[in-house]
Amino acid sequence: MLIAEGGGTNSGITQHDPVTGTQVNAQVGTVQFAAGKASSSTVDITVRGARSGSEGTGVVLSPDGYVLTNNHVIGSGGEITVTLPDGTTRTASVVGTSPSYDLAVIKLNGASGLTPAELGKSSTLAVGQSVVAIGSPLGLEGTVTSGIVSALNRTVDVQGENGQPVIYNGIQTDASINSGNSGGPLVNLDGQVIGINTSIVSNSKASGNIGLGFAIPIDTASRVANELINGGVATKPQLGVTGTNGQSGAATISSVVPGSAADKAGLKAGETIVKVGNRAVSSFSDLVAQISSNVPASKINLTVADSAGGNQRQVEVTLGSEQDKAAETPDDSLFQQQNPYTSPDGGMQGER
């Protein structure tokens, strides 16, 4: 017997409504509110090919079914099936991809009346701010986890589709992100999407979440998504240099592409790029990430030094613009070491 019987009287278990009501009616600025608001605009994406497939998450951008996700979720090809928040499914087709940013937009077939996500501004984020991640880890649709912004402008090197390197300045969070979360929203407590969950750090002892997740800032993702929806192709900024890590940090220029933005600004092979704007450059990968976070054709200021880091000078550069049809490929030697970053899409073994 689990519950003792009362002597002669009808005793039983009673339940009570919450005193404050917050368990029933979510208040703005709580995890519950953010989860409820953003979940209505979050979908599960399943891709099945002849031999394999993947599962990830997406963010609804429009009532008629444009959805933002990661390129590595849909990049392998196959039939795309999207499960909506109400449990109904739609097939979808690819509108366009941005390999350098690991982003893609798909369009649901026959969709209408969907709830678009409210997009925030990643430029207003602060370290320590509470955030919520929503996705389909291990196929568990609509899973909500919470945490904080652990760091901003974290340089992330991740292997994208077909082994292409993808480098970006990410939002670091300790909100749990696992296989199947890729392409899902990272939101603030107002329920606004401030990032697209894309990669995690794992190690040889643990393949899942260890509290180190990364999201592509929505300021970049929204620009790319708009370009894909409007023209099917995204653009990326171009500096026009190859290089290596400097001996004491920074990025050393190995060569300058003739006619590029760097060439027009007078940058030379052997020089070192120390800062982009007011932010120090810690490596060549960091330089690529910082450049990629800018809008094509925008003006930036670089602090350039000689090979020893001396004789610093300020250089204004008007970035070039090119179509994003292939991932950034700076000096290949940078990517020969084992990369701890992985993309948390849920791989599925197909039938033969």
Q: Which residues are catalytic?
A: 72, 102, 182
> What is the spatial distance between Cα 40 and Cα 85, in angstroms, rounded to a whole number?
6
Residue closest to 322 by CA, chosen among 236, 225, 239: 236
> Residues with Cβ < 8 Å from 247, sequence gap 6 or more?
none
> What is the spatial distance between Cα 106 and Cα 208, in angstroms, rounded to a whole number?
27
Coil, helix or strand at residue 237: strand
Environment class of 166 (CB within 10 Å of its CB; exposed 0-12, middle 13-18, buried 19+): buried
Q: CA torsion sign, 188 to 191 to 196 to 200?
A: positive
> What is the spatial distance between Cα 194 and Cα 239, in angstroms, rounded to a whole number?
27
